[in-house]
Copies of this chain bind each other. A is one copy, B any other.
Amino acid sequence: MPVTLKDIAQKVGFSITTVSRALAGYDDVAESTRQLILQTAAEMGYHPNATARRLRQRRTDTIGIIVPTSSTRFGDPFFGEFLAGVGDKAVEHEFDILVSTRPPEAGELRAYERMVLEQRVDGMIVISTRPQDERIAYLLEQNFPFVAFGRSDLEADFPYLDVDGERGMFQATEYLIGLGHRRIAYISAPFTFMYSYQRVEGYRNALAAHGIPFDESLMLAGDLSERNGYALARSLLTREAPPTAIIACNDWMASGVIAAARDLGLTVGRDLSVVGFDDVPLAQIIHPRLTTVHQPAYEAGWRVCDMLVKLLREEALTERHVLLQPELVVRESCGPPPSRG
A window 249-266: CB within 8 A of B? 252, 255-256, 259, 262
Residue of B52, B88, B100, B259 touching A87 (CB-CB under 8 A): B100
The proximity string for A residues 46-57 relative to B, scoring 1 for CB distances below 8 Å and 0 otherwise, is 011111101100
Q: Is A77 an interface residue (CB 8 A)?
A: yes
9-residue interface stretch from A112-120, A180-188, A328-336: A112-120
Interchain CB contact under 8 A, B84 and A74: yes
User: Given known contacts A81-B75, A91-B100, A101-B88, is B285 in contact with A287 (CB within 8 Å)?
Assistant: no
A175 / chain B contacts, CB cutoff of 8 Å: none
A267 at the interface (CB under 8 A from B): no
A179 within 8 A of B: no
Residue from B51, B96, B262 in contact with A51 in the complex, judged by beta carbons closer than 8 Å: B51
The residues in A between 50 and 88 inclusive whose CB is less than 8 angstroms from any CB of B are 50-52, 54-55, 60, 62, 67, 69, 74-77, 79-81, 83-84, 87-88
Assess whether B69 is in contact with A88, with CB atoms less than 8 Å apart: yes
A69 lies within 8 A of B55 (CB)? no
* Contact (A87, B67) CB under 8 Å given A77-B77, A259-B285, A285-B286: yes
- Quick check: B75 and A80 within 8 Å, CB to CB? yes
* B-side contacts of A51, CB under 8 Å: 51, 54-55, 60, 119-120
| A111 interfacial contact with B, CB 8 Å | yes
**Alpha-carbon gap, A102 to B91, bound state (A):** 8
Q: Are A259 and B287 in contact (CB under 8 A)?
A: yes
Give complex CA distance A118, B118 in Å. Answer: 21
CA distance A49 to B51 in the complex (A): 12
Among B113, B119, B226, contact of A281 (Cβ-Cβ < 8 Å): B226
What CA separation (Å) do A320 and B33 show in the bound complex? 48
Residues of chain B lying within 8 A (CB to CB) of residue A50: 118-120
- A96 neighbours in B (Cβ, 8 Å): 98, 100, 120
Question: Once the chains bind, are A87 and B99 in contact (CB under 8 Å)?
Answer: yes
B97 touches A98 (CB 8 A): yes
Question: Which chain B residues border A284 with CB–CB below 8 Å?
Answer: 226
Residue in B closest to A91 when the chains form the complex, CB atoms:
B103
Chain B residues whose CB sits within 8 angstroms of the CB of A52 once the complex forms: 55
The reply on A2 being an interface residue by CB < 8 A is yes
CA distance A111 to B88 in the complex (A): 12
Instruction: Contacts A51-B55, A226-B281, A259-B287 known; list 17 others, CB within 8 Å.
Output: A2-B117, A49-B55, A49-B118, A62-B98, A69-B84, A76-B80, A79-B80, A83-B99, A87-B99, A91-B102, A91-B103, A98-B98, A98-B99, A99-B99, A255-B285, A282-B285, A286-B287
